[in-house]
A and B are shown apart, each in its own frame.
Chain A
Amino acid sequence: MKKIFSRPKSIKKTPFHYCPGCGHSILHRIIGEVIDEMNLQEKIIGIPPAGCAVLAYLYFDIDMGEASHGRGAALATGMKRVLPDRVIFTYQGDGDIAAIGTAETIHAAARGENFSTIFVNNGVYGMTGGQMAPTTILGQATTTSPGGRKQRRDGFPVNLSEMLAIAKGSAYIERTAVNSPANILRTKKAIAKAFRVQMEGHGFSLIEVLSPCPTNWKMEPVEACKWIDEVMAVHFPLGVLKDITGDKRDAH
């Protein structure tokens, strides 16, 4: 019997503090697998968000630098300009990137800054208790959209990845999910490709990952994963939004 699946080396043995069924846990692991498989542990630097994943540095065995809420794209810009041969990535939630951090993200994409962003979209502000986020969909109830998001009171949700695809400096933008094994594997491929796009100097890359937040959605994890397929992905369709490399092969 051969062991064919175990913890990635670049993920520390610390048990995750995330809720049962949280997408962060899955994402952390597959990023760790990509770092291992592409041999990036010694040259990668990550920037965690303000949000549930603020403590990501307790889990990733890589250099990491804290950003204040929303400003990851600006930190990554400064860092990558100083260290152009390292792989820099930001890891940001939907509030972090599509509310307070929108300007920094759009402009980093417009400038074609050569770093990668992993945008974890769970449609709520998780860490602060489940408030409405820019990606909360109409009708979705949160603690600041009681009765469901209403267009007149709360406005429409934001499709940031579609907006970023317009930026001339964006090289590769894909939306995936981590709600099923097939989608998890697709996300892993997308992250690996984003890192390769960065290493080849093509410009800004971003993977938006639809991620379950069972606690704040008030659903069981299995139900939350189904809700992503049946409801969330209708408003945030999965797929490649931009790819200037035209490269169909797997990153590794």
Chain B
Amino acid sequence: MVSVPFHALRLRSRCIVPKVLMRGNHALAEAAVRAGCRYYFGYPITPQNEVPEYMSERLSKLEDGVFIQAESEIASIHMVIGASMAGGRVMTSSSSPGISLKQEGISFLAALELPAVIVNMTRGSPGLGNIAPAQSDYFQATRGGGHGDYRTIVLAPNSCQELVNLTYKAFDLADRYRTPVVILGDGMLGQMMEPIALPPEVQIKKLPHKDWILTGAKGRPSRFIRSLLLDPFEEEEHNWKLMRKYERIIKEEVIWETSFGDDAKLMVVAFGIAARIAKGAIKRMRDEGLKVGLIRPISLWPFPYKAIKELTKKVRHFFVFEMNMGQMLEDVKLALEGNGEVHFYGRPGGIVLTPLEISRVISSYYYQKKLG
């Protein structure tokens, strides 16, 4: 199994590693292909159109590459299901309203235990909303908009490089656990351009053999893949089986990052692009002597509850900053279990603050709480 450890590329980037300047959407598509993805089914929706556009070009140049612009987001998620049943590494991408359309399919992927990567470049919502960046799909991603007791692994990058790293890793996670993985990005990450170190190409032939896929019953008994279990006892056991898998994922796959945490009096909690903006704000505030730190969940599911709770040994004040009306906020409160004080500042609808603007909001709260 080939998997690029999260930190490895960052270390390498301190050496002379060739980098390309790439737009986030293009970079994640390239990372997917290098991770062995040969099947992409998508549909146009801003702000992720560059993903199907890139894939249409890139996959057409590969002998075994398949690109289909489907007739809808519903059709594309079901093409993902078919291709995954047949054993392929497969991806789809969309943005908020399109991801809503895919929810039944995602529930099916989880129930059928099929690997797949689903990319959401979040936009202003609800409804048609707008095409500006937002983070208002946190609930949809982590609580599922689909029916039933299931989880998907949710990874939230905050830079183009991380978008590449996490997309690349997502295919391994999906295969390893036979589960769908959501890359929760946003319109800004998709559109911005940064220097990227691209990961190496996976050798598809060397990937582990899948002994459960549908290929025609040659040399073996026929098999079927289904999620209909009319007997409630069987359906219950299937749910417990999924839970046991999710428990393994919770134990092994939590990812988060802490910055400036050692002497912080106030910890900002943010994910994705909001965390990137917060990092800039925290640098400014540190320059002015404010003791502010950041904890950044990178896996939104499984969520780093323990890591946040750990902080309460040293820190009492938490400042949740998200580009929504308060979604990750609920997980932070769950993590704190009543310890500490949580303040929430959110901007929905596609508003993107600058680091200066958010630093003023955080500083104001810092002084208001007399933390200086």
Contact = CB atoms under 8 A, between A and B. Distances in A.
Asked if chains A and B are in direct contact (CB within 8 A), the reply is yes
Interface of A: 41-45, 47, 54-55, 57, 60-68, 71, 74-83, 86-87, 103-104, 106-107, 111
A79 B39 contact: no
Contact of A82 (B66, B219, B224): B66
Nearest to B75: A74
B88 A82 contact: yes
A54 B71 CA distance: 25
Contacts of B41: 78
Contact of A43 (B218, B223, B225): B218
16 contacts: A44-B216, A45-B86, A57-B226, A64-B222, A65-B81, A65-B224, A68-B104, A78-B39, A78-B41, A78-B78, A78-B81, A79-B85, A103-B72, A104-B75, A107-B70, A111-B68
A68 B107 CA distance: 10
Interface in B81-107: 81-88, 90, 104-105
A80 B82 CA distance: 8
A80 B41 CA distance: 13
A79 B228 contact: no
B108 interface: yes
B71 A83 contact: no
A45 B83 contact: no
A99 to B, nearest CB: 14
A80 to B, nearest CB: 8
Given A78-B41, A78-B83, A62 B75 contact: no
A48 to B, nearest CB: 8
A86 B86 CA distance: 10
Given A62-B217, A107-B75, A75 B82 contact: yes
Contacts of A61: 217, 222
Contacts of A106: 71
B128 to A, nearest CB: 20
Interface residues of B, number: 40
B105 A104 contact: no
Interface of B: 39, 41, 66, 68, 70-72, 74-88, 90, 104-105, 108, 112, 214-219, 222-228
B217 A63 contact: yes
B223 A63 contact: yes
By Cβ-Cβ distance, the 5 closest A-B pairs, closest first, are A78-B82, A74-B78, A75-B82, A78-B83, A78-B79
B224 A78 contact: no
User: Most A CB atoms within 10 A — which of B41, B66, B77, B85?
Assistant: B85
Nearest to B81: A75
A36 to B, nearest CB: 13
Given A74-B70, A78-B81, A81-B68, A66 B228 contact: yes
Given A66-B112, A106-B71, 5 more contacts: A42-B216, A66-B228, A74-B76, A75-B85, A87-B216
A65 B222 contact: no
A71 B78 contact: yes
Contacts of A87: 216
Contacts of A66: 108, 112, 224-228
A98 to B, nearest CB: 16
A65 B85 contact: yes
B79 A42 contact: no
Nearest to B216: A43
Nearest to B88: A82
Contacts of B226: 57, 64-66
Given A74-B82, A76-B82, A45 B72 contact: no
B66 A81 contact: yes
Contacts of B39: 78, 81-82
Nearest to A106: B71
B215 A41 contact: no
Nearest to B224: A57
A89 B71 CA distance: 20
B204 to A, nearest CB: 12
A63 B83 contact: no
Contacts of B222: 41, 60-64
A78 B228 contact: no
A60 B77 CA distance: 26
Nearest to B226: A66
Given A42-B218, A78-B83, A104-B71, A64 B78 contact: no
